[in-house]
Amino acid sequence: MTFSGVYVPLITPFDADGSVALDALEVLAREVLAGGAAGLVALGTTGEPASLSADEQRAVLDVVTRVCRDGNAALVVGANSVEALRALRERPGVDAALSLVPPFLRPGEDGVVAYFEALAAASPVPVLVYHVPYRTGQPLSAAALRRLDAIPGVAGVKLAAGGIDAATVELLADPPAGFAVLGGDDAFVSPLLALGAHGGILASAHVATDRFAELVRAWAAGDAVRARAVGHALAGLALALFAEPNPTVIKGVLHAQGRIPTAAVRLPLVPAATHSVEAALKHL
C-alpha cells in the first residue's frame, strides 16, 4: 500500500486509578479517523509503550486494530526488534511497522542499513524507518536513506531531523519511487510537504485533525496560498503542544477538552504545567 496523508500516533490515556482507559482510547481513535486521519499508529513513542506492561500493550493493540478495521484505515505498529516484528504475524490487520533507527549506539550508516535489512527480513509487514537523529544520535545522509529504500520490505521513512536539513532537501529533490516520506517534526511538516513529502505521522493531529488533513491535501493539490495559511497556524499549535516533553501537553489539552479521563502520564514523564496546556488551548 501507499503511505500518505496524516497518521496519528495515539497517546495511551489513563484512568484515575492509573489503569489504561481503553474505552477512552477507542473513542479518541474513532474521533481522529472521523477528522480525516488516513491511519493510526499504535504503540509509537507518543503512546508511552515502554511504561506499559505486555498485557496493556496487547489490550491497546486490540482496541486500535478493531477501530482501524471498522474505519477501513491503515494501522501502523511501533516495533523495534526482530522479536516484536515477528510477533506481528499473529496480528492480522497490521499494515506496517514503525521501527526506530538504533538509539545511543551510533552504529554508523552501514550499521543502520544492516540493522534494517535484518528487521525487514523478519517482518511480516512493510517497515517504516523512524529517523530522529536528535534523539538517536545517528545522522543519515540522503545516500543512506536511498540505501534503506533499496531494502526489500522497507516502505518509507518517518523523517524527524529537527528541521529541513541538507539530506532532506537532497532526498526530496529526487525522491525514490514508492518510498514514502512522512514528516515527524510537527512544526516543520508544512515546509516538508512543500518539498514533496507524502504526509506525516503527527502527534499534534490528536487535536485539529481536520486541519492537518487539509494541510496535506492543499500541498498535494498545489494550493500554496491555502497551504501556507493553514501551515502557519498549525506550526504555532505544534510548537505549543511540544513545549514540554511529548505527550504531556497533548494529554493536558485532551483532558481539558473532556476527551480523556485524566492528563496522567507515567514516569519518567511528569504532567505538563498548567500554563503550557493553557497556551496550547489558546491556539484552538
Which residues are identified as catalytic? Answer: 130, 158
Q: Which amino acid is at 176?
A: P
Distance of CA 64 to the CA centre of its chain: 14
How far out from the chain centre does Cα 126 lie? 16
